[in-house]
Structure 1
Amino acid sequence: MTSVPVDTEYDENQIQVLEGLEAVRKRPGMYIGSTSSRGLHHLVYEIVDNAIDEALAGYCTRIEVVIEKDNSITVTDNGRGIPVGIHPKEGVPAVELVFTKLHAGGKFGGGGYKVSGGLHGVGASVVNALSEFLEVEIANGEHIYYQRYERGNRCSELQQIGDTAKTGTRVHFKPDGQIFEDLVYQFDTLLLRLREQAFLNAGIRIVLKDDRDDAPENHKEVDLRYEGGIKEFVQYENRNKEPLHPDVIYVNAVRENCEAEVAMQYNDGYSENIISFANNISTTEGGTHETGFKAALTKVINDYARKYGFLKENDDNLKGEDVREGLTAIISVKVTEAQFEGQTKTKLGNSEMRSMVEKMVNEKLGEFFEENPSVAKIVVDKAMTASRAREAARRARENTRRKSALESSTLPGKLADCSDRDNTYTEIYIVEGDSAGGSAKMGRDRRFQAILPLWGKMLNVEKARIDRVYGNDKLMPVITALGAGIGDEFDVSKIRYGKVVIMADADVDGAHIRTLMLTFFFRFMRPLIEEGHVYIAQPPLYKVSRGKLEKYVYSDDELKQVLSNEFADGKPPAIQRYKGLGEMNPEQLWETTMNPETRIMLQVNLEDARQADETFTILMGDKVEPRRKFIEDYSSTVVNLDI
């Protein structure tokens, strides 16, 4: 908290009430997206967003977030402090309205904030409604006030508990186990979001602490402060890649009620990484600001290529996907009257932001290219190479289709298909090796389980464009079997199997196969993961037996438990270590790994696409040091990771 004097009107008169809390606990997903881990973390973001709004208004320089020992959360800021005066219309303290009435706050035209990320936010009231308890402590430059709530209901009157010259707000809450499926906070998930906020608000200090007993040393406290703003953000995003030009390109523009800034840099990779924000809120579905940026980028690069002869008169224009290959860009806009689509603010709808961003990038990026021809040439060359690869991919795709049309069967020769055609029921096992594939084919239920064996060295698509995928003898059978295309043409509704199961040995080679296959799905069939169709089979590591008693064991820790609990007395049991799937006969493979009634499978979820993108870059990219550090940091939770 800070002793900076408050000299702006922000009191009970700025708090306006729009509606109550009635439906929040009945339908929490409407307000925070889900009651899974994503929703759990969303509670923290809502409280932090309020502190960020204070920073936008110029009154907050430090925010601290603490994961307490019991997985409760404390957020402290040194802003002005939530108003504590009696609201003129409601007759209760303004802070009580903020925490007990939905859409009660200083962001609805009352003059409390000019720019706010929380305008359409669910805010503190929903956090309160979905918490077992919530405590708020406020310093207003004179006194310290305290109030406690339980499951959204006030438990005490607002109390004055001390005096102070400082200002700020401290919120301590514990998510409600009656609401959330998962109550354990992930440090890295919170760190990703808080780091974004530190980049977007140059100079603000955000501290994240983990006070849980089992927190690793590198999680105890992370101090985030970036004077370079979104330019530094781009450098951070490209830290595991090779930039094609040393300096980050930066453009910005300011109008009366809005401002926009873009930072961008190309790298030698093949994926685009465009991250956009509106009023510091991550717009994961894009919106008008992204649309304006993409249109202008394509125009500027084509105009430059035409003007200086990179594109000849008869050449087709470069397409958007060509000019964005290998691009990392951060788009940040701030607008007084933000219009977000959806409850959780994932898409910006303000039409004026498209024209503003488009005009800004057209003019200022064009000027930059004229003044920096060496960088412009690098960018145009990269786009033209991407264009040639796209054309090669198109020809390969057409050749593949023609070849399939001429063949009697369009399905891969090694595929053992199932008889059922209902993709809500069918599943395909992508199996490492012909030996395991043979056992799986014999052990499966032929009605709904298909088997596709893989063999040999698989292509690392992290280092390859889409044109190299077509015709690849390891990946084309997967593409053909799934039947839904790849890349921009991928249509998840056309998949032939509702479950796509990766089944590989429980060793380093198997882990490598799984990572390669997941990288392929993520880069070229992302909706397959996003919509929950991808699974990892969990074959046993051991079979423990004594007489007629047999037990399959799936980890070393489980083996210790089984030996100490179930086989502790009498003659030592026989322990068979499975080195590969091929060591199991068809009956064993069915019983342990493929029978829906007894098997263990992990569903691959995509809680955060950017975090996944970064992980695949680290694991499958060219740089060794980031991979080494990743393994060191996560060695306690990651096994059989191939480097």
Structure 2
Amino acid sequence: MENKSHNYDAANIKHLEGLEHVRKRPGMYIGSTSKSGLHHMVWEIVDNSVDEAMAGFANKINITITKNEEIIVEDNGRGIPVGTHPKFGISALEVVLTKLNAGGKFESNAYKVSGGLHGVGASVVNALSDSMKAWVKRNGKIYYAEFYNGGQTLKATEVIGSCDPNESGTKIQFHPDYKIMEKIKFDKDIIIDHTKQIAHLNKGLLVTVSDHRDNSYQEFQYENGIIDYVLEVNQGYKSVNNDVIYASGEYKYKNDLDQSDIIIGVEVAVQYLYDLYRPNIISYTNNILTNEGGTHVSGFYDAIMRLINSYAQDKGYFKNDSEKFTRDDLIEGMTAIISIKHPDPQFEGQTKAKLGSKDARRAVNEIYSTTLERFLNENPDLAKKIIDIAITARKGRIASNAARDNARRKNAFESGGLPGKLSDCSTKNAEISELYLVEGNSAGGSAKMGRDRNTQAILPLRGKILNVEKTRQERVFENEEIMSLITALGTGLGDTFNINKLRYHKIVIMTDADVDGAHIRTLLLTFFYRYFKPLIEYGFIYIAQPPLYKIQQGKIIEYAFNDQQKEEIISKLNQNNKITIQRYKGLGEMDPEQLWETTMNPQNRKMLQVQVEDAYHADRVFEVLMGENVLPRKEFIESNAKYVRNIDL
């Protein structure tokens, strides 16, 4: 940790614009007022502490969830400046917490690298909180300020005590304003997942999470940083290289405008696996997860394609250039963590999901190339194993393309290119069209007879579809059930995918409320997540909620979707007359009219929209639940068993 004497005072705090619209349009600043937005508020405060750590001024961050659903974030950094701001005439602490886009990270001499949302974090969180308190330790004194009702000052900055002159840091406590935010509780698991990522990406940083609601405490510190990250992600898999390939360094060049030094920090950690049939590439820029990759990932691909192809050619693996490996050949079975620290990253779009900085491509290419070239030359046995995996992947790619082409040609000769067992709807308006995926002919028959033929299509699936998580692509495209589904969707796949050609804007998974039905739902969700992820991201995938019980007393018929609802319905009926309770074991037990009224009628039905708020976490869950390895799956089930409901044994 660097000496904390580095100049960081009120003059470093620069203000850009007001805070007026935050409470009126919170989605512009934190994405939503739901669960993801609520936790985004936590990240905005935590990011400021992480910035202090990245700059070398902090090595510990404590996160606390109180019983009253408050969040406390404390670090041992330099402490937010408390001197009077030259422009506003109030303390710099109050400027940071009440003025939008006011933050030290806008001044190049305060931070070299920063995460967060351009420094707006603390003030936005204040705007969306009904209470915020701040403590700062600086210069042997403890300063305090308090705010209420969206950033209004309750107590201006004042000295409330003294501390050791060598102590410094910031503590922020806030409570969300439930007049704006949805009244939901903080999810400890989400906070812990994010906290672990921060600790992995900042080698040696200690991050703790205390939850006063259940008196739990966890701490995370990784002396090996992203090497430990890769090993944790790959737990339970059979590795090719037990020692993770690790590259680290700085890429320097001169700024064309003022000839100042631009320094980009690069870290890459890679491990190959025998029993993973897809890549697992996770990338970050300044601790921000870049789900869609970007230029830093492209630089990584440049390095592996150039060096591994060159190495393989020198060793005589290719008869001609057509046998050279593609990018997809070289990343199958690979887990890679790519983390860069950039002084001025340029992102594509508002979500920061994709990095656009061109210099990041050169930086990662150069740093990883040096390490990879040395690894290949010094480890010929491991290099051969990696090339063997690429050869197998190349064969699979060729077979997969052939299977996909054959399936397309076959489908082109069927009824209008659509699967024969699809009972399509009559409308061609995709916005009002619905595709129901049902298990077997029994439920399919009731659904066909009970549906609205104008807007609802039915595709019966025979048995459990393929588990794509542990199946090579060529087998996926040879599977009749999957190809029927792909054809019915109409979007194409892979390079030919076009979401504008989607034939239905509601794709409804309608399975029985038992273990087999749950398994089929999971198989279908795994398929959509791995091969049609945009359909989930655009909100087109739904899960039908059929009732569990039919409750009848004379002519009175009601349906219950869970045990609690069943008991409530029964309690309201005449207890002196006979009450008949039927538990539905499957959709096939319902007649068409019942299925329509309870599960398919837009006026009455209940459906869950499938959403992915945390793509990394979702990716890991699918990998654990549907992959080859038993140990991670067993641990997941044991730790989540308390959340399971309505399992039909």
Bucket of the pairwise TM-score, normalised by the shorter protein: over 0.9
- Confirm or deny that 1:250 pairs with 2:246: yes
How far has the Cα of 1:443 moved from its partner?
Answer: 0.5
User: Contact (CA 8 Å) 1:40, 1:182: kept in 2 or not?
Assistant: no
- Confirm or deny that 1:327 pairs with 2:331: no
Deviation larger for 436-445 or 59-68: 59-68
Q: Which whole-Å CA distance do the structure 2 matches of 1:373 and 1:313 have between them?
A: 22
**AA in 2 matched with 1:181:** E
**AA in 2 matched with 1:243:** S
Look up the match of 2:398. Answer: 391
How far has the Cα of 1:404 moved from its partner?
Answer: 2.5
Look up the match of 1:130. Answer: 128
How far has the Cα of 1:159 moved from its partner?
Answer: 2.3
User: Contact (CA 8 Å) 1:512, 1:642: kept in 2 or not?
Assistant: no
Look up the match of 1:297. Answer: 304
Q: Which whole-Å CA distance do the structure 1 matches of 2:12 and 2:321 have between them?
A: 62
- The Cα offsets for residues 409-468 of structure 1, whole Å up to 9 and x where unpaired, read as 421121111001111000010001110110000100000000111112421111112211
Q: Which residue, 243, 257, 260 being the options, matches 2:266?
A: 260
User: Contact (CA 8 Å) 1:142, 1:163: kept in 2 or not?
Assistant: yes
Look up the match of 1:140. Answer: 138
Q: Which whole-Å CA distance do the structure 1 matches of 2:492 and 2:236 have between them?
A: 30
**AA in 2 matched with 1:594:** M
SS at match of 2:53: helix
Q: Which residue, 334, 344, 361 being the options, matches 1:337?
A: 344
How far has the Cα of 1:314 moved from its partner?
Answer: 4.8
Q: Which whole-Å CA distance do the structure 1 matches of 2:68 and 2:453 have between them?
A: 48
Distance 1:61 1:112, change over 3 A: same
User: Contact (CA 8 Å) 1:15, 1:110: kept in 2 or not?
Assistant: no
Deviation larger for 107-116 or 354-363: 107-116
Q: Which residue, 515, 522, 527 being the options, matches 1:515?
A: 522
SS at match of 1:88: coil
How far has the Cα of 1:240 moved from its partner?
Answer: 4.1
How far has the Cα of 1:641 moved from its partner?
Answer: 6.8
Taking the TM superposition and a 5 Å limit, the aligned residue runs for 1:532-571 are: 532-563=539-570, 565-567=571-573, 569-571=575-577
Query: Identity percentage over the alignment?
Result: 51
Taking the TM superposition and a 5 Å limit, the aligned residue runs for 1:218-229 are: 220-229=216-225
- Confirm or deny that 1:350 pairs with 2:348: no
Look up the match of 2:624. Answer: 618
Look up the match of 1:210. Answer: 211
Look up the match of 2:159. Answer: 160
**AA in 2 matched with 1:204:** L
Q: Which residue, 29, 35, 38 being the options, matches 1:37?
A: 35
**AA in 2 matched with 1:224:** F
Q: Which residue, 414, 422, 425 being the options, matches 1:407?
A: 414
Look up the match of 1:500. Answer: 507
Look up the match of 2:260. Answer: none
**AA in 1 matched with 2:153:** R
- Matched positions, count: 635
How far has the Cα of 1:557 moved from its partner?
Answer: 2.7
User: Contact (CA 8 Å) 2:411, 2:419: kept in 1 or not?
Assistant: no
Q: Which whole-Å CA distance do the structure 2 matches of 1:61 and 1:462 have between them?
A: 39
**AA in 2 matched with 1:202:** K
SS at match of 2:238: coil
Q: Which whole-Å CA distance do the structure 2 matches of 1:341 and 1:401 have between them?
A: 34
Q: Which residue, 575, 587, 596 being the options, matches 1:581?
A: 587
Look up the match of 1:186. Answer: 187
How far has the Cα of 1:230 moved from its partner?
Answer: 0.7
Unaligned runs of 5+ in 1: none
Look up the match of 1:74. Answer: 72
Deviation larger for 415-424 or 128-137: 128-137
Q: Which residue, 231, 235, 256 being the options, matches 2:231?
A: 235
Taking the TM superposition and a 5 Å limit, the aligned residue runs for 1:58-73 are: 58-73=56-71
How far has the Cα of 1:154 moved from its partner?
Answer: 1.6
SS at match of 2:40: helix
- The Cα offsets for residues 77-122 of structure 1, whole Å up to 9 and x where unpaired, read as 1112111111123211000000111121111226222222247243
SS at match of 2:417: coil
Q: Which residue, 99, 115, 118 being the options, matches 1:117?
A: 115
- The Cα offsets for residues 8-64 of structure 1, whole Å up to 9 and x where unpaired, read as 322212212222212222222222222232221111111101101111122212111
- The Cα offsets for residues 373-412 of structure 1, whole Å up to 9 and x where unpaired, read as 1221121111121111111111112212222233344211
Look up the match of 2:256. Answer: none
Distance 1:349 1:410, change over 3 A: closer
Look up the match of 1:7. Answer: 5
Q: Which whole-Å CA distance do the structure 1 matches of 2:281 and 2:310 have between them?
A: 22
Unaligned runs of 5+ in 2: 253-262
Deviation larger for 83-92 or 523-532: 83-92
- The Cα offsets for residues 237-256 of structure 1, whole Å up to 9 and x where unpaired, read as 11143322211101122245
How far has the Cα of 1:550 moved from its partner?
Answer: 1.8
How far has the Cα of 1:286 moved from its partner?
Answer: 2.2
User: Contact (CA 8 Å) 2:303, 2:365: kept in 1 or not?
Assistant: yes
Q: Which whole-Å CA distance do the structure 1 matches of 2:9 and 2:401 have between them?
A: 62
**AA in 1 matched with 2:606:** I
TM-score by length of 1: 0.95
Look up the match of 1:436. Answer: 443
**AA in 2 matched with 1:330:** I
Look up the match of 1:195. Answer: 196
How far has the Cα of 1:568 moved from its partner?
Answer: 6.9
**AA in 2 matched with 1:172:** Q
How far has the Cα of 1:72 moved from its partner?
Answer: 2.1
Q: Which residue, 93, 96, 99 being the options, matches 1:95?
A: 93
Q: Which whole-Å CA distance do the structure 1 matches of 2:108 and 2:497 have between them?
A: 47
Q: Which whole-Å CA distance do the structure 2 matches of 1:641 and 1:374 have between them?
A: 49
Taking the TM superposition and a 5 Å limit, the aligned residue runs for 1:456-467 are: 456-467=463-474
Deviation larger for 574-583 or 271-280: 271-280
Look up the match of 1:175. Answer: 176
User: Contact (CA 8 Å) 1:63, 1:206: kept in 2 or not?
Assistant: yes
Q: Which whole-Å CA distance do the structure 2 matches of 1:568 and 1:372 have between them?
A: 79
Q: Which whole-Å CA distance do the structure 2 matches of 1:554 and 1:603 have between them?
A: 17
User: Contact (CA 8 Å) 2:551, 2:558: kept in 1 or not?
Assistant: yes
**AA in 1 matched with 2:20:** E
User: Contact (CA 8 Å) 1:11, 1:83: kept in 2 or not?
Assistant: yes
**AA in 1 matched with 2:336:** A
SS at match of 1:632: helix
**AA in 1 matched with 2:154:** C
Taking the TM superposition and a 5 Å limit, the aligned residue runs for 1:350-369 are: 350-369=357-376
Distance 1:83 1:248, change over 3 A: same
Distance 1:229 1:314, change over 3 A: closer
Distance 1:200 1:511, change over 3 A: same
Q: Which whole-Å CA distance do the structure 1 matches of 2:575 and 2:186 have between them?
A: 40
Distance 1:339 1:282, change over 3 A: same
SS at match of 1:24: coil
User: Contact (CA 8 Å) 2:104, 2:119: kept in 1 or not?
Assistant: no
Q: Which whole-Å CA distance do the structure 2 matches of 1:253 and 1:641 have between them?
A: 51
Deviation larger for 105-114 or 318-327: 105-114
- The Cα offsets for residues 543-598 of structure 1, whole Å up to 9 and x where unpaired, read as 112122222111123223333x4237433521111111111000100011000010
**AA in 2 matched with 1:209:** S
TM-score by length of 2: 0.94
Look up the match of 1:271. Answer: 278
- The Cα offsets for residues 192-246 of structure 1, whole Å up to 9 and x where unpaired, read as 211111001111111112222xx5x8xx222111111011111111114332221
Q: Which whole-Å CA distance do the structure 1 matches of 2:567 and 2:143 have between them?
A: 53
**AA in 1 matched with 2:171:** R
Distance 1:587 1:284, change over 3 A: same
